[in-house]
Amino acid sequence: MSMPNTIAEPIESKLDFEHYKRKERIKSWAKGMLFLLPSIILFTVFLFYPLVRTIYLSFFLTNAAGETTVFVGWENFARMFNSPIFMQSMKSTFLFVLYTVPLTIIISLFLALLANEKLRGIGIFRTIYSSTMGISVAAASVFWLYLFHPSIGFLNMIVTGLGFERIGWLTDPTWALIAVAITTIWMNLGFTFLILLGGLQSIDGYLYESADIDGAGYFYKLKNITIPMLSPTLFFVVTVTIINAFQTFGQIDILTQGGPQNTTNLIVYSIYREAFVNYQFGSASAQAVVLFIIILIMTIIQFKLGERKVHYQ
Interacting residue ranges for other proteins, rule: CB under 8 A:
204, 206-207, 209-217, 220, 224-225, 228-229, 231, 311, 313
With a CB cutoff of 8 Å and minimum separation 6, the contacts of 52 are none
Whichever of 1 and 213 has its CB closer to other proteins, that residue is 213
Whichever of 178 and 211 has its CB closer to other proteins, that residue is 211
Least CB distance from residue 197 to other proteins, whole Å?
Answer: 20
Say which DSSP state 222 is in: I
Spatial contact of 54 and 288, defined as CB atoms under 8 Å apart: yes
Say which DSSP state 167 is in: -
Least CB distance from residue 126 to other proteins, whole Å?
Answer: 21
Helix (H, G, I), strand (E, B) or coil at 249: coil
Least CB distance from residue 206 to other proteins, whole Å?
Answer: 4
Whichever of 24 and 212 has its CB closer to other proteins, that residue is 212
Whichever of 28 and 210 has its CB closer to other proteins, that residue is 210
Least CB distance from residue 207 to other proteins, whole Å?
Answer: 6
Whichever of 13 and 313 has its CB closer to other proteins, that residue is 313
Least CB distance from residue 213 to other proteins, whole Å?
Answer: 5
